[in-house]
């Protein structure tokens, strides 16, 4: 088990610099165009695949970094480049995490390669959990999965929303209700293979930010999938449901995690790292601008009103990164989040991103409000971090429940 460290080793620095170079040379020059087009930047994803950034091997190497810092380091650099394009590059990762967190070794080996495709024929994947009436309230999920024993098939019906890559994905991972009596404990995750009849794209959303990332509804109408597409397998599911029913009858017992929460808990520090990347990008633009923009015969950074804002911005970014790194290290070291450290990292970093990007716009003044400068886009992009994969309010609820042991509502 690696000791916690705030210093990257030489190999990590080399990877960081490589990703940073791709973000600076390929992503940033394309950022404004794909933001305006509001389309998936397939050419950029393909370039990422050709150099090895968009690949199963790359994410596996970062995921299995014994220090836990591989993934947050990579996320920070990519989202420093551009949040919308970066989310198009890493969005498949959430579906992959869903398979790794809940699937068998055979399912991992079979389906994750199909999520990425090849450099000459790139594919993407989608994780489908949220619904029109079930976002933060996963207990209100209505998408049903019913087992057809005669055919050894699962039949899925329902509508998912806010799905990154929804409808355009090669592989969809869908969370559905299999036992309504158990509430969130009666959920399971399913693999919907490519070209499965009954799955279609619903509304594609026109968004405030991260506009280069495709977000849409996914409609499931009598979608039939093989029994082998239940993540973890039916025997494991039946055992889990039986334990949950027994605990419900006894009126207590050990908490049983549902499929969606297992995925989100694993990804929250990574989302915090994304927020750190966007905040850092905006801070750097604001710092350079303040050093070169003159008013009243001197650079505006000579004014304490500007300089102190930049000092606060840098302090908050560094503090956010430390929370993210701590949570990432704890996860890989097998340390339990006894104080909801994963949620802490996501909560703090996401709110720092919104605050820092707003300050960057203010420091640039009128220029910051135009699309001639990137802080306007960064500010729009930052709004998503306090919303997706658990709103700030949900993170505070998780933290409060964890530190108090009380069922706070």
Nearest to 227 by CA among 176, 155, 156, 153: 153
Handedness of CA 239, 395, 206, 84 (dihedral sign): negative
Mean predicted lDDT score pLDDT of the chain: 94
Q: Which of 47, 77, 351, 389 is catalytic?
A: 389
10-29 pLDDT, tens digit each: 999 999 999 999 999 999 99
Residue 290 has pLDDT above 50, yes or no: yes
Q: Supply the angle between the helices 56-63 and 83-102 in degrees, to the nearest 10.
A: 70
For the ranges 72-81, 251-260, 335-344, 373-382, the lowest mean pLDDT is seen at 251-260
Question: What average pLDDT score do residues 217-222 get?
Answer: 98
Question: What average pLDDT score do residues 74-83 get?
Answer: 98
Question: What average pLDDT score do residues 114-132 get?
Answer: 96
The alpha-carbon radius of gyration of the chain (Å, integer) is 22
Higher pLDDT, 191 or 100: 191
Do β-strands 215-226 and 199-204 pair in parallel, antiparallel, or remain unpaired?
antiparallel
Q: How far apart are CA 53 and CA 170, in angstroms?
A: 19
Per-residue pLDDT band at 228 (split at 50, 70, 90): very high
Domains of the chain (ranges; CATH) run 10-123 (1.10.540.10), 126-250 (2.40.110.10), 259-404 (1.20.140.10)
For the ranges 162-166, 180-184, 364-368, the lowest mean pLDDT is seen at 180-184
Question: What average pLDDT score do residues 37-64 get?
Answer: 95
Question: What average pLDDT score do residues 381-387 get?
Answer: 98
Residue 217 has pLDDT above 50, yes or no: yes
What is the model's pLDDT at position 249?
84
Quickly list DSSP for 258-282: -HHHHHHHHHHHHHHHHHHHHHHHH
Which phi and psi angles does 256 have, rounded to 5°? Answer: -110, 120
Residue 106 has pLDDT above 60, yes or no: yes
Residue 256 has pLDDT above 70, yes or no: no
What is the model's pLDDT at position 134?
81
Q: How far apart are CA 84 and CA 120, in angstroms?
A: 22
CB 256 within 8 A of CB 244: yes
Residue 140 has pLDDT above 90, yes or no: no
| CA dist 378 → 35, 80, 170, 274, 309 (Å) | 11, 9, 29, 12, 17
Question: What average pLDDT score do residues 312-326 get?
Answer: 98
What is the model's pLDDT at position 254?
45
Task: Based on the residue annotation, tell me whether 131 is a catalytic residue of this protein.
Answer: no
Higher pLDDT, 351 or 248: 351
Percentage with pLDDT > 70 across the chain: 96
Question: What average pLDDT score do residues 69-73 get?
Answer: 96
What is the model's pLDDT at position 188?
96
Residue 136 has pLDDT above 80, yes or no: no
Residue 304 has pLDDT above 80, yes or no: yes
Residue 7 has pLDDT above 50, yes or no: yes
What is the model's pLDDT at position 1?
60
Percentage with pLDDT > 90 across the chain: 87
């Amino acid at each position: 088990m690696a000791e916690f460290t705030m210093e990257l080793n030489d190999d990590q620095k080399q990877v960081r610099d490589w990703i940073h170079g791709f973000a600076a040379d390929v992503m940033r020059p394309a950022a404004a165009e794909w933001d305006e087009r509001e389309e998936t930047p397939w050419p950029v994803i393909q370039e990422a695949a050709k150099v090895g950034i968009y690949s199963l091997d790359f994410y596996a190497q970062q995921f299995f970094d014994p220090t836990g810092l591989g993934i947050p380091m990579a996320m920070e650099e990519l989202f420093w480049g551009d949040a919308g394009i970066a989310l198009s590059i890493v969005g498949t990762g959430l579906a992959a995490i869903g398979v790794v967190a809940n699937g068998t070794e055979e399912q991992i080996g079979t389906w994750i390669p199909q999520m990425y495709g090849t450099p000459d024929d790139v594919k993407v994947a989608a994780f489908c959990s949220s619904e029109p009436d079930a976002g933060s309230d996963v207990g209100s999920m209505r998408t049903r999965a019913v087992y057809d024993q005669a055919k050894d098939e699962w039949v899925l019906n329902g509508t998912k929303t806010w799905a990154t890559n929804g409808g355009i994905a090669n592989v969809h991972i869908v969370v559905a209700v299999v036992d309504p009596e158990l509430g969130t404990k009666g959920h399971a995750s399913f693999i919907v293979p490519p070209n499965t009849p009954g799955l279609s794209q619903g509304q594609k959303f026109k968004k405030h930010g991260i506009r280069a990332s495709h977000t849409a509804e996914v409609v499931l109408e009598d979608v039939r999938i093989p029994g082998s597409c239940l993540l973890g397998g039916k025997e494991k599911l039946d055992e889990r449901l039986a334990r949950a029913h027994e605990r419900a009858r006894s009126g207590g017992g050990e908490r049983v995690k549902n499929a969606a929460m297992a995925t989100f808990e694993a990804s929250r520090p990574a989302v915090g790292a994304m927020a750190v990347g966007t905040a850092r990008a905006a801070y750097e633009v604001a710092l350079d601008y303040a050093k070169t923009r003159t008013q009243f015969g001197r650079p505006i950074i000579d004014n304490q009103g500007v300089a102190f804002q930049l000092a606060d911005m840098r302090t908050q970014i560094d503090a956010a990164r430390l929370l993210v790194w701590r949570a990432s290290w704890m996860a890989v070291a097998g340390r339990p989040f006894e104080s909801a450290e994963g949620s802490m990292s996501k909560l703090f970093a996401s709110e720092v991103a919104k605050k820092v990007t707003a300050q960057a716009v203010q420091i640039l003044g009128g220029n910051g409000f135009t699309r001639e400068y990137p802080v306007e886009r960064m500010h729009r992009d930052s709004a998503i971090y306090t919303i997706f994969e658990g709103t700030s309010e949900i993170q505070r609820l998780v933290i409060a429940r964890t530190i108090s042991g009380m069922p706070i509502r």
